[in-house]
A and B are shown apart, each in its own frame.
Chain A
Amino acid sequence: MRKKVTFATLINLFLAFMKIGALTFGGGYAMISIIEREAVEKNRWISQAEMFDILSISESTPGPISVNTATFVGFRVAGFWGSFFATLGLALPSFVVILLISFFYKTFLSWTVVQAAFLGIRAGVVILLFDAVLKLKKIVKFTPLTLFLFIMTTSLIVLSFFFNFNLSLGSFKFSLSIILILLGFIIGIIATALKKGELEK
């Protein structure tokens, strides 16, 4: 059950997610290792398994993953005001930075030193992603079925870089990741119903 919410908790949530917002380059998955560090290791607001569940839910609901995660973690820790302050903290750094950039963005991008730093950061982002995989793989219990799902998803995502798999239904576009997430939900439910094939210990 939830602990009593103090003002200090709200401030902590706000500051931690402001840090996450300020350090998230390349968006989405790149920030997982940063959120993991702040919410799981440092503040112990959520467990690593909960972190994974939040990611799965974020993937299958609209909106940016980091906003979803901030709202969810904030709620877990301190209810409505927790999610309010976490989300506000997350949005603030990009808001301020982009606002400043929007006033002189042509000049900003023409500085070659800025471009050079950004080209370097792209390499760092790849390492952050591999780091996230390394951390999160402990949470998946590898059975033949989950291993198959993992390999299939990885291959499809890599292939989708070369070929476009996105489906559209009328004006609504389903991305490959949404389809795969939904597939995972369905397979998980079927496996539970069959009981024998239950994916968890």
Chain B
Amino acid sequence: MIFFELFYVFFLIGLFTFGGGYGMIPLIQEQVVARGWIDALSITDFIAISESTPGPFAINIATFVGSQTGGIFGALCATAGVVLPSFIIILIIAVLISRFMKNRFVRGALSGVRPIVLGLIFGTAIVFLIKLIISSSNPQSFTLTSSYRESIAIFLMVFGFYLAYRHFKKKSPHPIAILAISALLGMTIFWVL
């Protein structure tokens, strides 16, 4: 039955994806494309959509494949499947951690991980910045072309807004403000001009 199969396949995918996001693409290729649920080309298209719509990649792709294969109920089964493994595992950890949080080895382990996590985020920020200035990184399905000059210009304008806001208000601007401004700048520079 397709609904059970969708649930099962996405449960497996959810279980074996660490660190979130694109780590699951090889698994999607193996399980989803091999079953003929969607073709390999749609996956490339879909990465572009997922990059630019809200929500985690895992939920996005599960909903998408589920809907293409089994309609709304298919989307529901696939999404439930991909979320459930992390939900169960984190629930177990959350129960245990409140008991073991006082343990100095647990605390020590976490304090060793903190600089690593900070480095992961900082490294990702730099990688995203690099991707931003490489114009060829546009998704294939995009008909708009952007040059690195325009991307850098938008980045600098948003960055200028960010710095000015922090300087005058002594706190960071709301993330929605940052996203809205960059979307508007994108529409102005790439579409209107």
Which A positions have Cβ atoms within 8 angstroms of B? 21-29, 32-34, 37, 52-53, 55-68, 71-72, 75-76, 80, 83, 87, 90-91, 93-95, 97-99, 101-103, 105, 108-110, 112-137, 139-142, 146-147, 149-158, 161, 172-175, 177-178, 180-181, 183-189, 191-193, 198-200
* Listed A/B pairs (5) with beta-carbon separation below 8 Å: A23-B54, A29-B121, A98-B49, A117-B52, A156-B123
Per-position binary interface string of chain B over residues 154-185, scored 1 when its CB falls under 8 Å from any chain A CB and 0 otherwise = 11001100100000000010111011011111
A161 to B118, CA, bound (A): 17
Question: Which residues on the A side are within 8 Å of B26 (C-beta)?
Answer: 173
**Is the pair B60, A199 in contact by a Cβ cutoff of 8 Å?**
no
* B21, B95, B109, most chain A CB atoms within 10 A: B109
**Is the pair B91, A80 in contact by a Cβ cutoff of 8 Å?**
yes
A177 to B46, CA, bound (A): 24
* B86, B97, B154, most chain A CB atoms within 10 A: B86
Residue of A nearest to B123 (CB): A157
Question: Which residues on the B side are within 8 Å of A26 (C-beta)?
Answer: 51, 128
4 closest A-B pairs (Cβ-Cβ)? A120-B186, A188-B112, A94-B55, A63-B86
**Is the pair A139, B97 in contact by a Cβ cutoff of 8 Å?**
no
Question: Which residues on the A side are within 8 Å of B34 (C-beta)?
Answer: none
Question: Which residues on the A side are within 8 Å of B146 (C-beta)?
Answer: 119
**Is the pair B56, A83 in contact by a Cβ cutoff of 8 Å?**
no
Contact of B144 (CB < 8 Å), options: A33, A112, A140: A112
| Given A127-B159, A153-B119; A200-B190 close (CB under 8 Å) | no
A118 to B137, CA, bound (A): 13
**Is the pair B128, A125 in contact by a Cβ cutoff of 8 Å?**
yes
* B15, B55, B63, B184, most chain A CB atoms within 10 A: B55
Beyond A98-B50, A98-B63, A109-B142, 5 additional contacts (C-beta under 8 Å) are A23-B176, A37-B175, A98-B59, A146-B111, A184-B109
A129 to B120, CA, bound (A): 11
A116 to B188, CA, bound (A): 8
Which B positions have Cβ atoms within 8 angstroms of A? 14-21, 23, 26, 45-46, 48-60, 63-64, 67-68, 72, 75, 79, 82-83, 85-87, 89-91, 93-95, 97-98, 104-105, 107-132, 138, 141-144, 146, 151, 154-155, 158-159, 162, 172, 174-176, 178-179, 181-187, 189-191
Instruction: Classify the interface of chain A: helix, strand, loop or mixed.
Output: helix
**Is the pair A62, B67 in contact by a Cβ cutoff of 8 Å?**
no
**Is the pair B132, A175 in contact by a Cβ cutoff of 8 Å?**
no
Contact of B108 (CB < 8 Å), options: A60, A94, A192: A192
Residue of A nearest to B125 (CB): A129
**Is the pair B115, A120 in contact by a Cβ cutoff of 8 Å?**
no
**Is the pair B186, A22 in contact by a Cβ cutoff of 8 Å?**
no
**Is the pair B54, A22 in contact by a Cβ cutoff of 8 Å?**
yes
**Is the pair B121, A129 in contact by a Cβ cutoff of 8 Å?**
yes
Contact of B191 (CB < 8 Å), options: A33, A75, A112, A189: A112
**Is the pair A87, B83 in contact by a Cβ cutoff of 8 Å?**
yes
**Is the pair A137, B118 in contact by a Cβ cutoff of 8 Å?**
yes
* A32, A95, A130, A151, most chain B CB atoms within 10 A: A95
Question: Which residues on the A side are within 8 Å of B121 (C-beta)?
Answer: 29, 32, 129, 132-133, 136
A93 to B118, CA, bound (A): 28
**Is the pair B115, A184 in contact by a Cβ cutoff of 8 Å?**
yes
**Is the pair B54, A94 in contact by a Cβ cutoff of 8 Å?**
yes
